[in-house]
Structure 1
Amino acid sequence: MYTSKYNYLVFFFLFLFLSSCRKYVEIEPQGKIIPSTVNDYQLLLNNSGVFNLSYGSVEYATDNVAFLNDSFINGLDVRSLNIYKWANLFYQANEDDPEWNLFYQQIYNANVAIQGLPNAKSGDENLKQQLIAEAKVHRAYAYLCLVNLYAKEYHTGSAATDLGVPLLTEPGYTQNLKRATVSAVYDLILNDLNAGVATLAPLSSSKTVPSKCAAYALLARAYLNMGNYQRALDNASLSLGIQSELFDLNPYIGAGAGSGLPDGFFLPTSQENPEVILMKASSDGGGNFPLSPELMTLLGTKDLRTYFFTYYVGPDGDPTGIFTYPGTYHSYFSPFETAPGSTQLGPTVPEMMLIKAECLARTQKAQAGLAVVNELRKTRFKPADYTALTAGNDDNALLLILQERRRELFCKGSRLFDLKRLNVDPKLVKTIIHPLKTQQLTLAPGSNRYIYPIPVKVINANPEIEQNPR
């Protein structure tokens, strides 16, 4: 919402993408305004066109997607097809990886604010500390995405030696660009988010601005990925203690009557949605995903998430003309204020409920976990179609909770990371099969191909950055 007004406060971070090793774009580009006052830094951090974007391609690597239609495949860009195929490389040596670039741009801008704000002019100390904390939450989000895309999942026994991503904590260009360990990256993430918890107000005036609630929510995400279920539970509960309202889909059934548009077009924006804790839009700006038959079966036809967020063959056909074939998720059904048509990937109340439920089940409180999930499900079905989930033991309860997590968060950016962390449990391992015309591509549990390759352009410019094995 601030992008058009403040896009003159842009600082682009690039690793030597454009010239020589270890080089950033000039910090004082000609014709740009360099922040010197607290207000300048606030405008920099309010640039939602930078800070409130996230990755957009990750769903193609998961079991939520299956290419069953040749016309869809033929119209797909090379990058998306490479991700779907878990190819050796996603980008050629002369191509940029937009996700890598985006997150390091966010990190660079956050570092500019963190370093500059203590000596900034014309602002009180409380506001300085608030803005530094906001910058740290944004930086933590960027590193949480990077380490989950481009590195192994967190393992307690090997995180201190597994390669993560380059860890940059200041805007200078003399830093070591060798990949830090997964453990070191998570240490920075946790430290930054705890700074947000200690400093920020419970809620912000805009959902594009980090809050204490958002910091707790991202801590819950991080601890879940680390397998620290008690701390994930604690932080999800703290986030829900601040923001817990659910959005009931039932009142929007029939909202599009007479318009020629599906009811999903009339759902509120993320800024207006009470479930959204921190807005982060998918960076691809829109598009559709052909959902796998397995996911469509899991959703079923009575689930309102199927009704609102997918298209399947019905009596009225496809009134919009935007779907390639039945069983399609379309991001136009996830309206986002700063990037129309983009999916909301930031933390939400349902995600915190699902983390709480999973962690309860993993700490021998499975029935309490199912009770949390059932509260969510009541808003996802017509009253006549709602059925409470029940389980006879903790293992079955955990499976039901994880299935509900997949239903609620499909195409919201979490599935690849879930597959990586769940594959360490022998009871939950899974081989993914991707159909591609006459081929059946497979991804084995724990495969290196779950990890994104480091962009070749980055490695060529910075030889000290080690490539991921394939």
Structure 2
Amino acid sequence: MKKNIITISLAALTIFVSLTSCERNLDQISSVNEAEEQAMTRPESFRQALDGAYTAFKTTGYYTSDTGNQLIMGDLTTDNLIITNSGRNSNAAASNFEFSSDNSQTTGLFSAAYAVVSRANFVMSYLDNGVVTGAAKDNVEAEARAIRAAAHFDILRAYSVIPTQNSPAVNQYGIYYSESYNPLNNNSSRNLTVDQGYQKVIDDLLIAADKITQNDADKGRFSKAAVYGLLSRVYLYKGDYTNTVKYGKLALGLSPSVTTLDNFNRIWKENEGLAKITDGVLFQISNAAPERNTVGVAYNQLIDGQYRSEFVADYDFFNSFATNDVRKTVYFTPATYNKKVYNHITKYAGNGGPVNIVPVKYLRTAEVLLNVAEASFREGDQVTALTLLNQLRKERYTSFTPGTEAGQPLLDAILKERRLELAFENDRWYTLKRLGLSVQRSGKGDIADGTGSKAIKQTLAAGSDLWQWPIPVTAIQANPNIQQNDKY
């Protein structure tokens, strides 16, 4: 029986999604009732289907709404953010490390990412029907593979051990790597080790890098530079520093700007209708009409001209930004709410348009540079590491004097810049995790001067099983073959 494209549900397109989500429509290909086999006889349908896969990154559990929004999860679980008494208590359980299989704060990514994978696999399933050929076919395959790899990697680093986290990691439970469009599949299991899962991600990205013809003019789609950059991220997590450097340098060769000092404010404060500045952006999740999402709402809402924040900057972290650091005024707005001054996070607030509606920077050149700098250091090339670090710092600090660090101080400086640069971009939790470090919060309060209410939990040990988030219970109920993580 043929399905109408407009009524294909997320549950039908996702291997591990809760069965309760079947009422949510995809509308991936067409705005009219049309059998998918018919729709995919037109070349333009492949572009529309790929755009549908990109759009899936905006679903709840990825970059939409507040609960489980990946723009904040990587920071509220660490020492970068502190929950406020003035908010709605959203994501409070995750902030307190109270992870559970029935709480969408840490489980939402699982089904959201597999939904992205399914949309990419849908496109791949029609590649050989003869409608697109030659370079056009290669590019469709490359984009679909890159999308699929990105989503799988996000699942892998959240729900499995990271290879550099501890020595036995590579042989522990990985994930199910979905490589075919098979909506009725309910027998799949976590059949790969961590090492095998990383290799699947890398295999997809290497094919994508070889075949992609998409240029980088449209930052809302993968380009060769973005694929190379993503490879540098994956190899860094894998602990393969030689390939981190190799593919990171390829990305930097195609897109060398880490965002100039003059443009840094503008790449974050753009709204629909204003000039689009994408200097230093490799791949972003577009957020234009008619599917605009309030991606920054997890941090705060603007009420009667005042920011009401759910989470604010940790006192010590806020003060680690120097006064001549352009990021300090871009990321934060110290302001009063309910007669108290907080250091609000306004990185995603926008400027002059709808509040909290901006593109999501999934991958930036600055991260790739930091990947290469760290990997170069670990490979013994401190000259390259310092050169790259100074290249970034030159574009973030006014009146900057090049640093001369060496040895451990150089690595510390690289990791510090990573924390400052990628704050509120879903990095901090995963950096601590891959380095095998604990969470150690400052013990300060939520008010701008360090007083006020403190986090309930101040530490999370490096060896805790909580570093691997729980598989959602709804996924296990739908498919009992899925192995739950330890201690859940």
TM-score normalized with structure 2 length: 0.78
For 2:279 and 2:29, the matched residues in 1 are separated by 40
Instruction: Report the CA distance shift for 1:358/1:183 in structure 2 as closer, same or farther (over 3 A).
Output: same
The one of 216, 229, 238 aligned to 2:241: 229
The one of 71, 76, 86 aligned to 1:71: 86
1:140 aligns with 2:141: no
Instruction: Report the CA distance shift for 1:252/1:354 in structure 2 as closer, same or farther (over 3 A).
Output: closer
Count of residue pairs brought into register by the alignment: 433
**Match in the other structure for 1:374:** 390
Instruction: Report the CA distance shift for 1:438/1:186 in structure 2 as closer, same or farther (over 3 A).
Output: closer
Q: Structure 2 unaligned runs (5+)?
A: 63-69, 288-292, 300-310, 444-452
1:167 Cα deviation from its structure 2 partner:
1.9
Secondary structure of the 1:352 match is: helix
**Match in the other structure for 2:357:** 341
Instruction: Report the CA distance shift for 1:52/1:41 in structure 2 as closer, same or farther (over 3 A).
Output: farther
Contact 2:263-2:277 at 8 Å conserved across structures = no
1:151 Cα deviation from its structure 2 partner:
1.1
Secondary structure of the 2:174 match is: strand
Contact 1:70-1:437 at 8 Å conserved across structures = no
1:109 aligns with 2:109: no
CA deviation string 1:178-215 (max 9, x = no partner) = 11321221111001100111111373341111111111
1:275 aligns with 2:280: yes
For 2:197 and 2:483, the matched residues in 1 are separated by 16
For 2:172 and 2:248, the matched residues in 1 are separated by 27
Instruction: Report the CA distance shift for 1:211/1:339 in structure 2 as closer, same or farther (over 3 A).
Output: farther
**Match in the other structure for 1:388:** 402
1:334 Cα deviation from its structure 2 partner:
6.2
The one of 38, 48, 56 aligned to 1:50: 56
Contact 1:281-1:346 at 8 Å conserved across structures = no
For 2:455 and 2:416, the matched residues in 1 are separated by 30
For 2:7 and 2:408, the matched residues in 1 are separated by 51
CA deviation string 1:51-105 (max 9, x = no partner) = 46743333211221123x4223xx222xx11111111416349x99432222111
**Match in the other structure for 2:312:** 290
Secondary structure of the 1:290 match is: strand
For 1:200 and 1:449, the matched residues in 2 are separated by 38
Contact 2:258-2:364 at 8 Å conserved across structures = no
1:264 Cα deviation from its structure 2 partner:
6.6
For 1:249 and 1:326, the matched residues in 2 are separated by 26
Secondary structure of the 1:328 match is: strand
**Match in the other structure for 1:128:** 137
For 2:275 and 2:196, the matched residues in 1 are separated by 33
1:467 aligns with 2:476: no
1:415 aligns with 2:416: no
Contact 2:6-2:29 at 8 Å conserved across structures = no
For 1:396 and 1:145, the matched residues in 2 are separated by 30
1:299 aligns with 2:313: no
Secondary structure of the 1:279 match is: strand
1:32 Cα deviation from its structure 2 partner:
5.1
1:311 Cα deviation from its structure 2 partner:
1.8
1:439 Cα deviation from its structure 2 partner:
3.4
Q: Aligned AA for 1:162?
A: Q
Instruction: Report the CA distance shift for 1:10/1:208 in structure 2 as closer, same or farther (over 3 A).
Output: farther
CA deviation string 1:195-240 (max 9, x = no partner) = 1111113733411111111111111000000111111011110000
Contact 1:278-1:346 at 8 Å conserved across structures = yes
For 1:400 and 1:286, the matched residues in 2 are separated by 29
For 1:108 and 1:215, the matched residues in 2 are separated by 20
Contact 1:208-1:279 at 8 Å conserved across structures = yes
Contact 2:294-2:355 at 8 Å conserved across structures = no
Name whichever of 291-300 and 47-56 sits farther off: 47-56
**Match in the other structure for 2:305:** none
Identity %: 23
Contact 2:219-2:278 at 8 Å conserved across structures = no
Contact 2:296-2:349 at 8 Å conserved across structures = no
CA deviation string 1:320-349 (max 9, x = no partner) = x799842221243468x9995356341111
1:17 aligns with 2:30: no
1:461 Cα deviation from its structure 2 partner:
2.0
The one of 353, 367, 377 aligned to 1:351: 367
Q: Where in structure 2 are the equivalents of 1:133-282 lying within 5 Å? A: 133-155=142-164, 157-172=167-182, 173-174=184-185, 176-179=187-190, 180-201=192-213, 203-250=215-262, 265=269, 272-280=277-285
**Match in the other structure for 2:379:** 363
Instruction: Report the CA distance shift for 1:26/1:451 in structure 2 as closer, same or farther (over 3 A).
Output: same
CA deviation string 1:363-409 (max 9, x = no partner) = 222232122111111221223xx232221x32111111110111110
**Match in the other structure for 1:91:** 102
1:454 aligns with 2:475: no
Instruction: Report the CA distance shift for 1:334/1:240 in structure 2 as closer, same or farther (over 3 A).
Output: farther
The one of 67, 87, 93 aligned to 1:82: 93
For 2:228 and 2:433, the matched residues in 1 are separated by 23
Contact 1:153-1:225 at 8 Å conserved across structures = yes
1:266 Cα deviation from its structure 2 partner:
5.8
